[in-house]
Amino acid sequence: MFFIIISYKIELMIELTSKQRKFLEKNAQPLSPLVQIGGAGVTAEQIKQIDSLIAIHELIKIKFNEFKEEKRELSEEISQKINATLVRIIGNTAIFYRAAEDSEKRKFESGLLKA
């Protein structure tokens, strides 16, 4: 007897309304960027780090020290690879949101539902 285990990722990306974006921006304002994109660009190691950080924090900022002209495309790429929502890019900083997989650990869910 053979069993096949299929790995899948829960779809957590969401479409945000403008009020929900404002709510998340307001909550992201006091946060410091947890990751900086430098001369090496976006590496596989950084993607793993970003994925781990967003799993813990739900809402993170990423600062682009280099590749400032490509920040939109790189942010979209990061968003897809970590299955998160790109909230907004302000200056050279991108804000990402992904709800915690455990519903009891979701910090922003009630605020997003009210917005």
Residue 90: band (very low, low, confident or very high) from pLDDT cuts 50, 70, 90: very high
Asked if pLDDT for residue 86 goes beyond 80, the answer is yes
Asked if pLDDT for residue 2 goes beyond 90, the answer is no
> Of residues 77 and 13, which shows the higher confidence score?
77
Residue 11: band (very low, low, confident or very high) from pLDDT cuts 50, 70, 90: very low
**Domain spans, the chain:** 18-114
The yes or no reply on domain 18-114 and CATH 3.30.1130.10 is: no
DSSP string, 72-100: HHHHHHHHHHHT-EEEEEETTEEEEE---
